[in-house]
């Protein structure tokens, strides 16, 4: 069911509590914002509210303060960056609830922007405490959620406040939902799902759901080792989830029954020790040495994946092809990202590390959609209704 958006609700002169995902990466040395793409992603909703003379109260979490005040996780630098991007003054509050905050809200004029303090300074936020949600809701007349990246969390600011205020989606949230819905229910064919990452357990529900939605599945990254092991291959000292071998075997069997090709690497990069500067070797998956670790897909696997992906009209990518944090083990991941950026197809990057890689390589504009929510997009593609979406008003 489509959800109401900010355009479906009268906001002029109203106090609007806007949940955004401004959980931006900070430079560990300087504390400066190293990537403001999450702030920029919500600018259309904020500008709409400014243009329509709403009184805008922004709330977000930042980092993992664990329910207490952490000085280097305050929202002031985010407010400063937002002010610069908007070309407008942006005020801040020293907390996100309480009398002082209520006073600041009452002083807002139409088109003013106030950024509340880090929601997660209060343990009640992540606990979805009803009293905390009521205090947040007390600040406003309308609630708008533009934080797709937090929509899979049952928190006070994503779920609780919607009990007390009319709740609608922001433009970013609406865009993410439309893209993900199309992927699940009406993709251009043929469609492919390319999955990487370290563990099968992190992606098992995604694989099970997408198996019935796409025309081909391709698996790389550390999780490929578990699937290779089920086929009787030696995988050396690579991470194996022994308790997931049965599930991996079952998935391969289901793929055969559904007639969906399930592609695994045919060659891999291996090392004896996972460290920067370790000597690497490329070996076929049939001859992986018993004393080695798989750290990336090999050149033949890259070419195999290319040949299959270029046949597709829709491609979903979630998870790296190797240990991309170490540059010499990132060739497979970077090659796949570069290749996807050249295709005349719908290319959707499922947030998280995949999105970070694409952004770092400057390829964001060459993809159809780069999701702002790793965990949220993963859960959505698993077929789960996100808690933060369920509570929004239906159109």
Same domain, yes or no, for 273 and 358? yes
Return d(Cα 164, Cα 167) in angstroms, integer: 9
* Domain-embedded: residue 230: yes
Cβ-based neighbour number of residue 99 at 10 Å:
8
Q: Are residues 267 and 144 in the same domain?
A: no
Residue 197 falls within a domain, yes or no?
A: yes
Q: Which residues are catalytic?
A: 38, 199, 352, 375
Cβ distance 213 to 188 under 8 Å? no
In a domain, 27, yes or no: yes
Residue 299: how many CA atoms within 13 Å on its side-chain side? 2
pLDDT value of residue 199: 84
State whether 99 and 205 are in the same domain: no
Q: Is the separation of the CB atoms in 292 and 273 below 8 Å? A: no
Answer yes or no: do 100 and 144 share one domain: yes
Q: Are 214 and 320 part of one and the same domain?
A: yes
Q: Is 58 helix (H, G, I), strand (E, B) or coil?
A: strand
Helix/strand/coil percent split, the chain, to 5? 40, 15, 45
Q: Give CA angle at 65 (351, 41), nearest 5°.
A: 35
- In this structure, is residue 394 part of a structural domain? no
> Do 168 and 142 form a contact (C-beta atoms < 8 A)?
yes
For residues 84 and 203, state if they share a domain.
no
| Domain termination residue (choose one: 141, 156, 172) | 172
pLDDT of 291: 95
Dihedrals phi, psi of 317, to nearest 5 degrees: -125, 130
pTM value is 0.91
**Domain check: are 241 and 341 in the same one?**
yes
In this structure, the answer to whether residues 168 and 214 fall within a common structural domain is no
CATH number for position 308: 3.40.50.1260
Domain final position from 152, 172, 192: 172
Indicate whether 391 belongs to any domain.
no
- Residue 364: Cβ-neighbour burial (10 angstroms; 0-12, 13-18, 19+): middle
Q: Which residue, of 117, 142, 172, is where some domain finishes? A: 172
What pLDDT score does 198 carry? 86
Residue 204: the pLDDT is 87
Each of the 395 residues of the chain gets a pLDDT tens digit; together they read 799 999 999 999 999 999 999 999 888 788 889 889 899 999 999 999 999 999 999 999 999 999 999 999 999 999 999 999 999 999 999 999 999 999 999 999 999 999 999 999 999 999 999 999 999 999 999 999 999 999 999 999 999 999 999 999 999 999 999 999 999 999 999 999 999 998 888 888 999 999 999 999 999 999 999 999 999 999 999 989 889 999 999 999 999 999 999 999 999 999 999 999 999 999 999 999 999 999 999 999 999 999 999 999 999 999 999 999 999 999 999 999 999 999 999 999 987 888 989 999 999 999 999 999 888 998 999 999 999 999 999 99
**End-to-end Cα, the chain, rounded Å:** 8
Instruction: Give a yes or no: residue 387 inside a domain.
Output: no
Range of the domain at 13: 6-172
The predicted pLDDT at position 146 comes to 98
Domain presence at residue 392: no
Q: What is the pLDDT of residue 209?
A: 92
Whether the CA torsion 300, 301, 302, 306 is positive or negative: it is positive
pLDDT of residue 305: 98
Residue 230 gets the label, from left (phi > 0), alpha (psi -120 to 50) or beta, of: alpha
Co-location of 188 and 266 in the same domain: yes
Look at residue 347 in the predicted model and tell me its pLDDT: 97
- Do residue 104 and residue 192 come from a single domain? no
The answer to whether residues 15 and 145 belong to one domain is yes
Longest CA–CA span in the chain (Å) reads 70
Q: How many domains are there within the chain?
A: 2
Residue identified by tokens 């919500």 is 42
Q: For residue 361, is it within any domain?
A: yes
Query: How many residues are recorded in the chain?
Result: 395
Shared domain for 301 and 162, answered yes or no, is: no
The whole-number pLDDT of residue 352 equals: 81
């Amino acid at each position: 069911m489509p959800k109401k958006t900010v355009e479906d609700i009268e906001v002029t002169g109203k106090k609007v509590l806007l949940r955004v995902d401004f959980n931006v990466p900070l430079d560990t040395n300087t504390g400066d914002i190293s990537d403001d793409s999450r702030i920029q992603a919500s600018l259309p909703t904020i500008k709409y509210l400014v243009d329509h003379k709403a009184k805008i109260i922004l709330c977000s979490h930042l980092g993992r303060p664990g329910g207490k005040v952490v000085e280097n996780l305050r929202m002031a630098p985010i407010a400063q960056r937002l002010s610069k991007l908007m070309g407008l003054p942006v005020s801040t509050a020293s907390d996100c609830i309480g009398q002082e905050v209520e006073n600041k809200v009452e002083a807002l004029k139409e088109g003013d922007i106030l950024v509340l303090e880090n929601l997660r300074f209060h343990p009640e936020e992540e606990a979805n405490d009803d009293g905390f949600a009521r205090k947040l809701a007390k600040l406003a007349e309308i609630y708008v959620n533009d934080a797709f990246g937090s929509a899979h969390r049952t928190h006070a600011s994503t779920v609780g406040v919607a009990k007390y205020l009319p709740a609608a989606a922001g433009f970013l949230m609406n865009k993410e939902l439309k893209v993900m819905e199309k992927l699940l229910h009406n993709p251009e064919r043929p469609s492919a799902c390319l999955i990487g990452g370290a563990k099968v357990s992190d992606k098992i529900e995604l694989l099970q759901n997408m198996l019935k939605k796409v025309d081909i599945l391709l698996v790389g990254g550390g999780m490929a080792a578990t699937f290779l092991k089920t086929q009787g291959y030696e995988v050396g000292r690579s991470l194996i989830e022994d308790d997931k071998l049965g599930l991996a075997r079952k998935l391969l069997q289901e793929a055969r029954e559904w007639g969906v090709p399930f592609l695994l690497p045919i060659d891999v990069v291996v090392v004896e020790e996972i460290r920067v500067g370790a000597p690497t070797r490329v070996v076929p998956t049939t001859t992986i040495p018993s004393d080695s670790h798989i750290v990336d897909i090999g050149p033949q696997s890259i070419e195999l994946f290319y040949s299959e992906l270029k046949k597709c009209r829709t491609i979903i990518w979630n998870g790296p092809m190797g240990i991309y944090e170490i540059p010499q083990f990132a060739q497979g991941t970077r090659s796949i990202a570069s290749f996807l950026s050249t295709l005349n197809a719908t290319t959707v990057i499922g947030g998280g590390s995949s999105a970070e890689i694409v952004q770092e390589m400057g390829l964001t504009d060459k993809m159809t959609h780069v999701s702002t929510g790793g965990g949220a997009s993963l859960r959505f593609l698993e077929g789960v209704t996100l808690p933060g979406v369920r509570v929004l008003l239906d159109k």
